[in-house]
Copies of this chain bind each other. A is one copy, B any other.
Amino acid sequence: MTDTKITLPESEIPRAFYNIAPDLPTPLPPPLHPGTRQPIGPQDLAAIFPQGLIAQEMSQERWVDIPDQVRDIYRLYRPSPVYRARAFEELLDTPAHIYYKSEHVSPVGSHKLNSAIMQAWMNKEEGVKRLATETGAGQWGSALSCACQLIGLECMVYMVRVSYDQKPYRRIMIRSYGAEVVPSPSPLTHQGRAVLARDPDSPGSLGIAISEAVEDAATRDDTNYALGSVLNHVVLHQTIIGQEAKKQMELAGEYPDIVIGCHGGGSNFAGLAFPFLKDKLDGTRPGLRAVAAEPLACPSLTQGRREYDFGDTGGTTPLMMMHTLGHDFMPRPVHAGGLRYHGSSPLVSHLLDAGLVEAEAYPQGEVFATAVKFARCEGTFPAPESAHAIHSAVQHALKARDAGTPTVILFNLSGHGLFDLAAYESYLTGKMDLNA
């Protein structure tokens, strides 16, 4: 039997992030100032981001160096293995070869740590003392609090109230890493108080929590803001996933026909897909398909319009050209909390419009049925978010079976579901809203 895991030595941790911006067929429309509606410049972001990250956000350089100190921290869990899912292939009785990049092996359980470490490090370099952020399901909050602890920054997390109440383990993890975490909407910000005045029982949303964290950062000299997805520099940091995966697929002697990631804000999808899309954009691999899998409950790519919209509910962030359901959209409470975001990465949106990526949307009942099958074959419980990518992979593997076509599929297992077992119980005991 050949190896189940394709591993790389630490020397193969990428030395640069891949920036897709200069390779786009047409330029990305710039973000606009929320007041003037004119393109923003670096100075407009300086109140909440360090110069280094602002430069990355706007960079047109194809390769952006990764500092050695950041690569050293990545050694804690990188390179992550690529798995061949043989037992899952057998269950599906498919000729497809199914591979997955295992980003769930990070200490916080997801890919989010990749960008958290880089963001914390660049803030620290510029003398920032404290970062403020939001978190939905808790993956990003865990990641940033871990990174801040490793690098030596204070951290403040506004956690969507419904997750704060339903996912106690995530908030305990955040506190254990030494960060402060409060349910959002909170009474600590104008934005939070405004929401609470309208609805004291508000369950909160990512959009509201973003408004709170941005206000916190904008109103304190010692504090910057950190976002876990959507923005160009976050997507940039995640491209280490796809760069490693390309080397690993080469070791496996295959090149994927289809790469798949789940899609909320876009960073794990883009992180895996963009280094492969580079080959499509330069004509080397014209047939490559890149698929973003999103929840039917929050279908920003498949049903949203591409237009300028705010990143937050309060309308305080720059306007971004992206697929959006509207910044006041309140998605149904599906268990994939990390995908409940009204908007999407401007880069992913741009590529979707250009026909270079595809999008699919699935109801959570189907997604959990796949998640349970996967866990029983591979041992690992996927996060509900990541299970969307697995479910898409299953559809393509079944098509390959029906067509009798050998197909190589690579998806991103962006996080584990160990803190989502209550959702699994809800599914297994028939209490889940399957069609949501």
Show the binding face of A for B, using Cβ within 8 Å.
1, 3-5, 7, 9-10, 68, 72, 75-77, 87, 105-109, 113, 146, 149-150, 168-169, 172-173, 175-178, 372, 375-381, 418-419, 421-422, 424-425, 428
Task: Evaluate contact between A9 and B3: CB separation under 8 angstroms.
Answer: yes
Contact status of A381 and B176, CB under 8 A, knowing A72-B1, A76-B4, A418-B109: yes
Which residues in B have their C-beta under 8 angstroms from that of A7? Answer: 7, 9
Which residues in B have their C-beta under 8 angstroms from that of A172? Answer: 421-422, 424-425, 428
Task: Evaluate contact between B425 and A175: CB separation under 8 angstroms.
Answer: yes
C-alpha spacing A188/B202, complex, angstroms: 45
Task: Evaluate contact between A381 and B428: CB separation under 8 angstroms.
Answer: no
Task: Evaluate contact between A376 and B424: CB separation under 8 angstroms.
Answer: no
* Distance to closest chain B CB from A420 (angstroms): 9
Task: Evaluate contact between B87 and A150: CB separation under 8 angstroms.
Answer: yes
How many subunits of this chain does the assembly comprise?
2
C-alpha spacing A107/B416, complex, angstroms: 10
Task: Evaluate contact between B379 and A146: CB separation under 8 angstroms.
Answer: yes
Which residues in B have their C-beta under 8 angstroms from that of A169? Answer: 169, 418-419, 421-422
Majority secondary structure of chain A interface residues (helix, strand, loop or mixed): helix
Which residues in B have their C-beta under 8 angstroms from that of A107? Answer: 378-381
13 contacts between A and B (CB under 8 A): A4-B75, A87-B150, A107-B380, A109-B418, A150-B379, A169-B169, A169-B419, A172-B421, A172-B425, A173-B421, A175-B425, A175-B428, A176-B421
C-alpha spacing A106/B3, complex, angstroms: 16
Which residues in B have their C-beta under 8 angstroms from that of A72? Answer: 1, 4
C-alpha spacing A376/B148, complex, angstroms: 10
* Distance to closest chain B CB from A184 (angstroms): 20
Which residue on B lies nearest to A84, using beta carbons?
B75
C-alpha spacing A113/B379, complex, angstroms: 10
Which residues in B have their C-beta under 8 angstroms from that of A68? Answer: 1
Task: Evaluate contact between B379 and A77: CB separation under 8 angstroms.
Answer: yes
Given contacts A172-B425, A176-B424, A418-B419, 9 further A-B pairs with CB under 8 A are: A3-B9, A106-B379, A107-B378, A109-B418, A150-B379, A172-B422, A176-B376, A177-B376, A418-B418
C-alpha spacing A419/B9, complex, angstroms: 30
Contact status of A379 and B108, CB under 8 A, knowing A9-B3, A10-B4: yes
Which residues in B have their C-beta under 8 angstroms from that of A375? Answer: 176-177
Which residues in B have their C-beta under 8 angstroms from that of A428? Answer: 172, 175-176
Which residue on B lies nearest to A177, using beta carbons?
B376
Which residues in B have their C-beta under 8 angstroms from that of A376? Answer: 149-150, 176-178
Which residues in B have their C-beta under 8 angstroms from that of A77? Answer: 379
C-alpha spacing A9/B8, complex, angstroms: 10
Residue among B5, B9, B146, B173 making CB contact with A75, cutoff 8 Å: B5
Task: Evaluate contact between B372 and A176: CB separation under 8 angstroms.
Answer: yes
C-alpha spacing A331/B7, complex, angstroms: 43
